[in-house]
Amino acid sequence: MTHRAESPTRADGVYQRLRSDILGGRLVPGARLKFPELCEHYGTSVGAAREVLTRLENEGLVTSRSHRGFAVTELSHRDLAELTEARIEVESLVLRLSIRDGDVHFEANAVAAHHLLERTPFFDDDPTHPSDAWTQAHQNFHRALLAGCRNRRLLESAQALRDEAELYRQWSVSLGHEPDRDVAREHRLLLEHTIARDTDTAVAQLREHVSHTARLLIRVASDEPNTRRTA
C-alpha cells in the first residue's frame, strides 16, 4: 500500500524537475532523453521515466520517434507558425471571456501578478536565457489575465499552447536585447485594458504581443522559414 501511494508522488516530482529543465533551457531542443541517464540524474525508475516522458509528449515539450526514443522538441518555423496561429485564436477568445466574467478578485490577482513581474529581473547569472524567476512570473501574469474565464477546457488549452511556446522563448536571446521593443510597457497596457474592461483593445494588444514575440522567436528555429503568416 505504501509503495502505491508514494509512486505517483515520486513520478510527479520527476515530472516537475524534468519539465523545469526543459522550459528553463537546461535541456536543449533536440536533445536525446535516454532512460539510463534520466534514471541516474533524476533518481527514478525506467517505468516512472517513461510515464513522465509520455506526459511531456502530450504537452508538446517532448517528441518520440520509432527506434530513436524520446527527445526535447526541436524548434521549427512551421511548428511555430501553427503554434502562434492557434495561440492567438484561443488566447483571444479566453481573454474576452475572462474580461466578461472575471470579478474583483480576478482584477486583484492580475494586478498582483503584474506587480511581481515588473520587479523580477529578466536575466540573472546567465545573460543568454531568461531567469527562472522571470519565466515563472511571466507565466503567472498571463495566466492571471485569463483566469476570469470560467470555461476550464478553454483555459487548459490556452495554457498548454503557452507552455509549448516557452521552448521558443527560452532559446531567443533577442527577447531581452531588442532595443526598440518595450516588453514591460506591453504587459502594462495588457493589464490596464483588461482591468478597464476594454475588451477589443486588450485583445488587440494581446494579439500583437504574441505575434511580435513569434517574429523574434522564428529567428532561432533551425529549419527553413515557413511562408505562412505567424499572426
Task: Indicate if 88 and 190 belong to the same structural domain.
Answer: yes
Of 72, 91, 115, the residue at which a domain comes to its end is 72
Does 21 share its domain with 105?
no
Domain boundary among 72, 95, 111: 72
Q: Are residues 130 and 201 in the same domain?
A: yes
Nearest alpha carbon to residue 141 among 191, 205, 93? 191
Ranges in the chain, pLDDT < 50: 1-6, 174, 224-231
Q: Is 227 within the bounds of a domain?
A: no
CA distance 45 to 99: 45
Considering the domain boundaries, does residue 205 fall inside one? yes
Same domain, yes or no: 187 and 151: yes
Quote the domain boundaries for residue 10.
2-72
Residue 174 sits in a domain of what CATH number? 1.20.120.530
Write down the pTM of the prediction: 0.75
Q: Residue 4's pLDDT is what?
A: 40
pLDDT digits (tens, 9 = 90+) for 170-198: 766 545 556 678 889 999 999 999 999 99
What is the structure's pLDDT at 221?
Answer: 52
CA-CA distances (angstroms) from residue 47 to 41, 52, 56, 207? 15, 9, 14, 41
